[in-house]
Amino acid sequence: MALCLSSALASGLSDEESDRAGGKHTVTTLLGNAVSRRASEALLVLGALLWLGAAGVSSAAFLRGGLVLGALLTLFFAGRVWRKSPPAVTNAFGAQAAYKLELHRAIWWATLALSAWVLAAGLGERR
């Protein structure tokens, strides 16, 4: 959920001025570009921490490794997101696209790694 909300907040960055002109009330139009980016980044890290927490309480040993791997990938890409953040200001559409690409990579790669881990573990149990 945190990862989804992170992506949703970032999606509003490129529409900030048109949404404001159209009278829309989004996080970006209400609080601005910088706050939206910080919130998106915080939610990305929260998502990784939730995965680590789930790994800590999971009774399924095969799942723990995948959750930790997914969390580490999310945090790795979070670093890349933070490096792309400063230039992703209002109307810097290229910088915003680069920022959102790194954020989405964090979500995509982590989810793919977790899915592959669980699939591989499940296939391994059938033998």
Give whole-number Cα distances, 38 to 24, 54, 65, 78, 88, in Å: 21, 24, 29, 11, 11
**Average pLDDT of the residues of the chain:** 94
| Mean pLDDT confidence for 43-72 | 94
Which pLDDT belongs to residue 107? 97
Over residues 84-113, the mean pLDDT reads 97
pLDDT of residue 124: 67
